């Protein structure tokens, strides 16, 4: 393992060349499972590309390596302007696994919200609507993201918002063995109750996480915050979801309702699809955001239209 760690460190070093093709430039970020670096593709006019490395201590677990390979398999099938493109899975001659992916110059949504202040309503939905479009596309393809959070939302230099890191995704219709029964995978600040319990997940799990992120953007605070995992998980599972409007009185009532309905404890009580959420937002947003969200909106039922009259 020490030899593998040394190879891993060497592979990440600026100037190192992998597969006789990718020249590492600098680090971009890291997490528990891996490290992402900026590289140049020597066989493609030195085009900038991102490389995501799986840590050796993580890769030695067969289930994690299969999950990493599944990420590539799933993401290569997702072609959408608001989803970061994944290209290939590679392995160095020393046994280091990495994937090649689209490089998005810019910043994460997390970096845009570090001031701790709420963002203007219009700005929030300029960020959120493209992510809704990306999730609607992924869900219709049968893919749940399972790790929606500001760190996984990238904003490029032209202001285009992209959803990254489907590393925790899984296909709805495959009886996957990648996640052991009862194992909770994701980022606890944004995880749905069923996900924290290690229960089955579906599109409504992503809707919960989207609602938590929306709450944070609209108020400048997370709905539940604690450094202790168990306390945080318990709050998501049992505590009433707070009112965004109480924390930011300038919000319209409909924005408060969106966060609450996205984040109902029981999945059956939430918006049942991104299309249903889009149908609600389409009549309340304006400009480009309204046009984009209306394109993915499911036609509301009579009961849904009735509810919209009162909220």
Domain boundaries, the chain: 9-101, 106-310
Q: Is the pLDDT of residue 22 over 90?
A: yes
The tens digit of pLDDT for each residue in 232-263 reads: 999 999 999 999 999 999 999 999 999 999 99
Assign 3-class secondary structure to 117-147: CCCCHHHHHHHHHHHHHHHHHHHHCCEECCC
82 in Cβ contact with 132 (< 8 Å): no
HSE-CB at 233 with a 13 A cutoff on CA atoms is 13
Give the model confidence (pLDDT) of 170-194 as tens digits.
Answer: 555 443 444 444 555 668 899 999 9
What pLDDT score does 306 carry? 45
- Give kind and range of the element (H or E) at residue 27: strand 22-30
Query: Taking 80 as the threshold, does the pLDDT of residue 202 lie above it?
Result: yes
pLDDT above 70 as % of the chain: 88
Q: What does the alpha-carbon distance between residue 33 and residue 22 come to, in Å, rounded to a whole number? A: 21
Which one of the listed residues 2, 45, 48, 147 is annotated catalytic?
147
Class of domain 106-310: mainly alpha
Those residues whose C-beta lies under 8 Å from the C-beta of residue 253, and which sit 6 or more positions away, are 245, 311
pLDDT per residue as tens digits for the range 115-142: 678 999 999 999 999 999 999 999 999 8
Q: Which CATH architecture has domain 9-101?
A: 2-Layer Sandwich (3.30)
CA distance 162 to 290: 18
147 carries an active-site annotation: yes
Report which DSSP code applies to 198: T
pLDDT digits (tens, 9 = 90+) for 53-78: 888 887 777 877 787 787 778 778 89
């Amino acid at each position: 393992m020490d030899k593998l760690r040394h190879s891993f460190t060497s592979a990440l070093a600026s100037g190192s060349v992998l597969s006789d093709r990718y020249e590492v430039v600098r680090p971009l970020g890291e997490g528990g499972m891996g490290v992402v670096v900026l590289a140049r593709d020597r066989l493609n006019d030195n085009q900038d590309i991102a490389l995501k490395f799986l840590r050796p201590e993580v890769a030695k677990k067969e289930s994690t390596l299969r999950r990493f390979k599944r990420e590539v398999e799933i993401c290569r099938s997702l072609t959408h302007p608001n989803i970061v493109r994944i290209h290939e899975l590679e392995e160095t001659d020393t046994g280091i696994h990495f994937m090649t992916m689209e490089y998005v110059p810019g910043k994460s949504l997390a970096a845009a919200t570090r001031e701790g202040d709420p963002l203007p309503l219009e700005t929030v939905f300029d960020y959120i609507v493209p992510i809704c479009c990306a999730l609607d596309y992924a869900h219709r393809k049968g893919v749940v993201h399972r790790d929606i959070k500001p760190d996984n939302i990238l904003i490029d230099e032209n202001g285009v918002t992209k959803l990254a890191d489907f590393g925790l995704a899984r296909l709805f219709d495959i009886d996957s063995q990648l996640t052991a029964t009862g194992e909770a995978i994701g980022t606890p600040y944004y995880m749905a109750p069923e996900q924290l319990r290690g229960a089955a997940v579906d599109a409504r799990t992503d809707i919960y996480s989207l609602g938590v992120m929306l709450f944070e953007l609209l108020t400048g605070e997370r709905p539940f915050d604690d450094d202790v995992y168990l306390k945080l998980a318990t709050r998501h599972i049992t505590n009433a979801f707070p009112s965004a409007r109480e924390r930011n009185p300038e919000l319209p009532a409909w924005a408060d309702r969106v966060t609450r309905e996205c984040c109902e404890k029981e999945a059956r009580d939430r918006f049942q699809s991104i299309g249903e959420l889009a149908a609600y937002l389409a009549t309340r947003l304006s400009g480009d955001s309204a046009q984009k969200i209306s394109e993915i909106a499911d036609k509301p039922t009579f009961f849904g239209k009735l509810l919209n009259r009162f909220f």
